[in-house]
Chain A
Amino acid sequence: MDMTFLFPVQLSLRVAALATLASLVFGVLLGWVFHRYRFPGKELLDSILSLPMVLPPTVLGYYLIVLLGRNGFAGRWLQETFGITLIFTWQGAVIAAAVVSFPLIFKSARAALDGVERKYEDAARTLGYPEWRVFLRVCLPLAGRGILAGTMLAFARAMGEFGATLMIAGNLPGRTQTLSLAVYSATQAGQDSLAAQLVLVISVLCTLILWVSGRLLTPRWQA
């Protein structure tokens, strides 16, 4: 198999894996903060954090360019301090995919943690557990399946990311062309068999992910 097929597949897997990892860390952390604490504007902040789920990807791409572009304030700071440019790089694609997949993990983590009854946390507290151990030994195991299911959905979403990626990382074959971008280019260029192969790969992968995450969400312990 040639690189026109393999490169987009491996790039998409790499981008989606790194993006999912990043949103897993931030999503679970913020999900726990939202589960544990009460603060003013909490539900408004929840809505803002969930925006990437519903906004058009091009709008997200626009925000990211404003933020991370050569004239964006974060972009300029990164450029001047570390010499890092994210625009038109595969790392930029990771950022785009992470932003898009983050709400899926955040939402499911918060819901799963809220679903852990308080009595279990209280029981651990009376047994001498500090808050971080309560989280690790009680909340995470009991919410784990919900979080894992959200993570798998986030991975599938990151694999399929198109609009924001196109705007921030471009569609450079062999550099930033992910699977979904390659399908678009192949169709445009009339390379029907390449397009068909790529479509098959992502369809099978996403079906598998949805099937596994659906199975994860069926409860295992009856109370």
Chain B
Amino acid sequence: MFMIGRTSSSRSEESMHPRIEPKAPARTISCDIDTRVSAPGAEFRLRARFEAPGRRIALFGPSGSGKSLTLMALAGLLKPQRGCIEVCGRTFFNAASGVNIPARKRNVGMLFQDYALFPHLTVRDNVSFGLKPVFGPVKAAHRERVDELLELCGLTGLAGQRPAQISGGQRQRTALARALATGPDLLLLDEPFTALDQPLRERMRSELFNILERFDIPMVMVSHDLEDVDHFAQTLVAFGHGRVLEVIDYESRRRAESPRQILDPLFQAAQR
């Protein structure tokens, strides 16, 4: 009886406040999904099974290994055929019990690979997009928050520009500000630096991580880049051929080993 009471009350709470309780039992992402994805001319089978603790998780592997699809499944943009996904003690998806929280209720921020900024909206309207009520303008408190984010991301002078008028790095910061504006419980980064060229890439990496350090948000980043992973990862989930090869406590192994020593064998394993 007690159990039933608890379950139903937490459900109704969930539907009203689609947020993870701040004192979530564990900062762990557990994912066990099995699904077929059909692209034009090909079919891909993804069997991603891992349990990753930590605040900064990197999904690492060559392209076509299933890491981006896994990220989509975490965001709720891809519905797996079987399995379950739990993030910080909250069930996002469970095929067996028919639970599938829609993307809009997961309160997960996403930084898309090529940013997916709305081309018809200004930088400011992009950033405040998730705060816009159904009717009327953005609330004053929310406007302040947007101003702070624009300031933090160095976009204040560009607030009135459209995405096509600003540089790649500025676009990335706009996308980051947009994802942070709604106060997400989890931030997903899909290959955040591949769209940038090498010198800019290193600058953006430190800039991005400086901004993110001020926010206490668990993050999952998808990357195939050694340096991205080395700068970012606490926990590493290595992908290959649509499967998880290994989950590594990167931070502690890094004390004794160089990035290449850890990552090269993984890359080779993924390419076999």
Q: Which residue of A lies closest to B106 (CB)?
A: A126
Contact between B162 and A126 (Cβ–Cβ < 8 Å)? no
Q: Which residue of B lies closest to A129 (CB)?
A: B104
A221-B129 contact, Cβ under 8 Å, with A119-B112, A125-B102: no
Q: Which residues of B contact A42 (CB under 8 A)?
A: none
A119-B114 contact, Cβ under 8 Å, with A124-B129, A221-B162: yes
Q: Which residues of B contact A128 (CB under 8 A)?
A: 104-105, 107, 130, 182
Minimum C-beta distance from A134 to chain B (A): 9
Q: What is the size, in residues, of chain A's interface with B at 8 Å between Cβ atoms?
A: 20
Q: Which residues of A contact B108 (CB under 8 A)?
A: 126
Q: Which residues of B contact A124 (CB under 8 A)?
A: 118, 129
A127-B182 contact, Cβ under 8 Å, with A133-B134, A221-B162: yes
Contact between A138 and B164 (Cβ–Cβ < 8 Å)? no
Say whether chain A's binding surface is mostly helix, strand, loop, or mixed. helix
Contact between B164 and A223 (Cβ–Cβ < 8 Å)? yes
A126 to B112, CA, bound (A): 11
A119 to B103, CA, bound (A): 13
- A222 contacts the other chain (Cβ, under 8 Å)? yes
Q: Which residue of A lies closest to B190 (CB)?
A: A119
A122 to B119, CA, bound (A): 14
Partner of A125, one of B76, B109, B163, B179: B76
A223 to B164, CA, bound (A): 6
Among A128, A129, A130, max chain B CB count under 10 A is at: A128
A119-B178 contact, Cβ under 8 Å, with A127-B130, A130-B104: no
The A/B interface has a contact count, at CB < 8 Å, of 65
Among A119, A120, A124, max chain B CB count under 10 A is at: A119
Contact between A221 and B103 (Cβ–Cβ < 8 Å)? no
Partner of B129, one of A117, A122, A127: A127
A141 to B122, CA, bound (A): 13
- B77 contacts the other chain (Cβ, under 8 Å)? yes
- B75 contacts the other chain (Cβ, under 8 Å)? yes
Size bin of chain B's contact surface? 20 to 34
- B23 contacts the other chain (Cβ, under 8 Å)? no
A138 to B114, CA, bound (A): 17
- B255 contacts the other chain (Cβ, under 8 Å)? no
Q: Which residue of A lies closest to B75 (CB)?
A: A126
User: Chain B, 101-138, contact with A by CB distance < 8 Å: what is the 0/1 string?
Assistant: 01111111110101011111000000001101010000
Among A117, A126, A138, max chain B CB count under 10 A is at: A126
User: Chain A, 122-161, contact with B by CB distance < 8 Å: what is the 0/1 string?
Assistant: 1111111110010001100110000000000000000000
Interface residues of A in 45-72 (CB under 8 A from B): none
A122-B182 contact, Cβ under 8 Å, with A130-B104, A221-B120: no
Contact between A127 and B178 (Cβ–Cβ < 8 Å)? yes
A138-B118 contact, Cβ under 8 Å, with A124-B129, A126-B108, A129-B104: yes
Q: Which residues of A contact B117 (CB under 8 A)?
A: 123
Contact between B118 and A123 (Cβ–Cβ < 8 Å)? yes
A127 to B104, CA, bound (A): 6
Known: A122-B77, A122-B110, A123-B112. 15 other contacts (CB 8 A): A119-B112, A122-B75, A122-B116, A124-B118, A125-B103, A126-B75, A126-B106, A127-B104, A127-B178, A128-B107, A128-B182, A130-B104, A137-B132, A138-B118, A142-B120
Q: List 7 A-B contacts (CB under 8 A).
A: A120-B116, A122-B77, A125-B102, A126-B75, A126-B109, A126-B110, A137-B132
> Which residues of B are at the interface with A, using a C-beta cutoff of 8 A?
75-77, 102-110, 112, 114, 116-120, 129-130, 132, 134, 162-164, 178-179, 182
> Which residues of A are at the interface with B, using a C-beta cutoff of 8 A?
117, 119-120, 122-130, 133, 137-138, 141-142, 221-223
